[in-house]
Amino acid sequence: MKSQGFTLLELLIAMALNALLLLGTARFLPQFQQQQGQLSDDRYAQEALEQLAATLAKHLRRAGYCNGTCSGSAVRASPQCLIVRWDSNSNGKWDVDEQFAFRLQSGAMQAQRGVGDCQQGVWERLTDPRQLRLTHFSVEVLPERLFKLQLVGETPRESPRRVTVMRWVKGENL
């Protein structure tokens, strides 16, 4: 006479197989979480560099605008430093506070307004080196009012990943 249901032996075998499957999948969980963390860091680094490149490109496109007669250089690019000027209040001249400077310092992009060089003054950090460490920043002046903007950063993990963003920008007002 057979009653309905599983026998004790069948139930024990099923539980043992489930335990083995659970142990096998639990072994891969930490590795999966680590990979997800790396992907998240990589995505953050890429998006942060893209946003920073867009900001710098916007400044390069505005550089040289003048609603009158302005004198001097609209763009000064040197290693790890960029200074741009434009007539933001349309008063026909480049005032001191219409100079916008960007520099790479201690793994972070910094900005300041109203300075003539990248050595003086109090700078504001645009990026946090604990989340994204910048290793390279350059702006190369090319013919025909073009600029090559390059940013390189690393994720802050044990095995850092390098992320590079390059943009070519046309100086519309030069």
Residue type at 84 in one-letter notation: V
Q: How far apart are CA 63 and CA 56, in angstroms?
A: 11
Tokens of 58: 């916007």
Kindly state whether residue 18 falls inside one of the protein's structural domains: no
Kindly state whether residue 12 falls inside one of the protein's structural domains: no
User: How many domains is the chain partitioned into structurally?
Assistant: 1
pLDDT of the chain along its 174 residues, tens only? Answer: 456 778 888 889 999 999 999 988 888 888 888 888 888 888 999 999 999 999 999 999 999 999 998 988 999 999 899 999 999 999 999 999 999 999 999 999 999 999 989 998 899 999 999 999 999 999 999 999 999 999 999 988 777 889 999 999 999 998
- Given this model, what pLDDT does residue 3 score? 66
Give Cα separations from 112 to 72, 118, 122 (angstroms): 19, 9, 7
Kindly state whether residue 98 falls inside one of the protein's structural domains: yes
Kindly state whether residue 17 falls inside one of the protein's structural domains: no
Contact 118, 5 (CB under 8 A): no
Kindly state whether residue 26 falls inside one of the protein's structural domains: no
- Given this model, what pLDDT does residue 169 score? 97
Residue 69 neighbours by CB under 8 Å, 6+ apart:
92, 93
Per DSSP, the three-state class of 41 is helix
Kindly state whether residue 7 falls inside one of the protein's structural domains: no
Kindly state whether residue 5 falls inside one of the protein's structural domains: no
Total residue count of the chain as it appears in this document = 174
Contact 101, 91 (CB under 8 A): no
Q: Which domain holds residue 82?
A: 35-170
pTM, two decimals, is: 0.82
* Other Cβ atoms closer than 10 A to 104: 21
Residue 90 neighbours by CB under 8 Å, 6+ apart:
67
What strands lie across the sheet with 146-154, from one edge to the other?
133-142, 146-154, 162-170
- Given this model, what pLDDT does residue 40 score? 87
Kindly state whether residue 128 falls inside one of the protein's structural domains: yes
- Nearest residue to 166 via CA among 145, 156, 152: 152
